[in-house]
Amino acid sequence: MLVLIADKFPASGREVLGRLGEVVYRPELSAEQLPAALAETKADILVVRSTVVSETALAASPPLSLVVRAGAGTNTIDTAAASRRGIFVANCPGKNAIAVAELTMGLILALDRRIVDATLELRHGTWNKSKYGKARGLKGQTLGLVGFGMIAREVAVRARAFGLKLLTCAHHPIAPELLEAHGVVQVADLGALLDASDIVSVHVPYSKANHHLIGADQIARMRPGATLIHTSRGGVVDDKALAEAVRSGRLRAGLDVFEGEPAGGQADFKNIAGDVGDIYATPHIGASTEQAESAISDEVVRIIESFVARGIVHHAVNLNERVARYSLVVRHLDRVGVLAGILMALREERVNVQGMSNTIFAGGEAACATITFEQAPSDECLQRLRDHEAILAVELRAART
């Protein structure tokens, strides 16, 4: 097994992976250089952070079977192409949640107290207490969380300590006990959240459905004087519309992500924070703490260890979530050829297997196979299986609708 690591990754994690197989560490690779590196190394597993993984890259190494995103978002990986090639794509959800939540609160506090502007004036020798000695204060304000995943929940924990009232909206009902535990009220939709919030903080992944989720219409709906915090992914917010709203004096904003942001660690980047004073911004560093880096490294190692040892991929993001219509449960003696015979019988019926697991009982005498599919085999096929000398029981189950 060869693991190609195409982004920065802690030495401790590389050392553990090195015990599983060969590790090639190439953190300097760009998206354009990645296909050649994959072709050269013939990597079985690829680990990336922000590097774009294109269909060309995925096709460059025939043995490639797993791509691990050392972070949460997978929008930089062509998951559709990976699925067509039978390549697993996995991520590390929640491992950087605290780091992003801390930056979110930092941006909220910095904007309220105008910390950046005051610091810059002091660095230039200007004492301006009369200007910066005014702030609204956070206590009693309403913070609206767009999305309620792990990052938003960590923000809620910290926001409560500052006396903020908390709202959230999501595409699905959130468990009442989860809302109660975090002191959050779920509102009907995004519009209701924008209407009621003094501060709006965005915590949803980027997707085609979420492109410009906070667009010109949504920005116009926010309260005059409100603040927008964006630490999720570039493209969820319409940067141009936001810049216009801030420039007009209607809103303030704190951003960690941008549309069209550079993929590398250092680059020239003309952005909306450059000429808009009421936008505070950081260069996509939300997840960049030592604590988050260590947690993500440990999770990447766990994913790869499980895949190598047992073929199980934790947090796979490109699997078919469709529930099979039927499952066949076969208890059988643990002998060579029994499973092959079952699969051959299904093949003769032209039944396409969608999933399969086989569990061995203590002592190694018997096992239980569960096979799922869309089309039910005939009664004759099931009877042939029951008549097999090494098969103990056969049960066909239909999925509940």
Q: Give tens-digit pLDDT for 56-86.
A: 999 999 999 999 999 888 989 999 999 999 9
Residue 171's pLDDT band, with cuts at 50, 70 and 90, is: confident
CA distance 165 to 30: 43
Q: Which residue bears the tokens 């032209």?
A: 350
Helices (H), 215-270: 216-221, 239-247
pLDDT in tens, 352-386: 998 899 999 999 999 999 999 888 999 999 999 99
Kindly list the distances between the CA atom of residue 178 and the CA atoms of 96, 139, 156, 183, 231, in Å, as whole numbers in the listed order: 20, 23, 11, 9, 22
Among 153, 233, 315, 332, the active-site one is 233
Active site residue 160: no
Predicted local distance difference test score (pLDDT) of residue 399:
77
pLDDT in tens, 302-357: 999 999 998 899 999 998 876 678 999 999 999 999 999 999 999 999 999 988 99
CA distance 140 to 161: 11
97-286 is classed CATH 3.40.50.720: yes
Please return the burial class of 289, using the count of CB atoms within 10 Å of its CB with bins 0-12, 13-18 and 19+: middle
Predicted local distance difference test score (pLDDT) of residue 50:
84
Active site residue 261: yes
Among 203, 284, 315, 332, the active-site one is 284
Write down the domain spans for the chain.
2-94+291-310, 97-286, 326-398
The answer on pLDDT for 401 being more than 70 is no
Q: Which of 55, 76, 299, 66 is nearest to 205 (CA)?
A: 76
Long-range contacts of 44-47 (CB under 8 A, 24+ apart): 44/1, 44/2, 44/3, 45/1, 45/2, 45/3, 45/4, 45/304, 45/307, 46/3, 46/4, 46/6, 47/3, 47/4, 47/5, 47/6, 47/7, 47/9, 47/300, 47/304
Q: Which residues, in sequence order, are bridge partners of residue 397? A: 327
The answer on pLDDT for 228 being more than 80 is yes
2-94+291-310 is classed CATH 3.40.50.2300: no
Active site residue 325: no
Question: pLDDT averaged over the chain?
Answer: 94
Predicted local distance difference test score (pLDDT) of residue 322:
65
The answer on pLDDT for 296 being more than 80 is yes
**Does this chain's domain 2-94+291-310 share its CATH topology with 97-286?**
yes
CA distance 301 to 3: 11
pTM above 0.75, yes or no: yes
Among 154, 261, 293, 299, the active-site one is 261
Looking at CATH, the fold of the domain delimited by 326-398 is given as: Alpha-Beta Plaits (3.30.70)
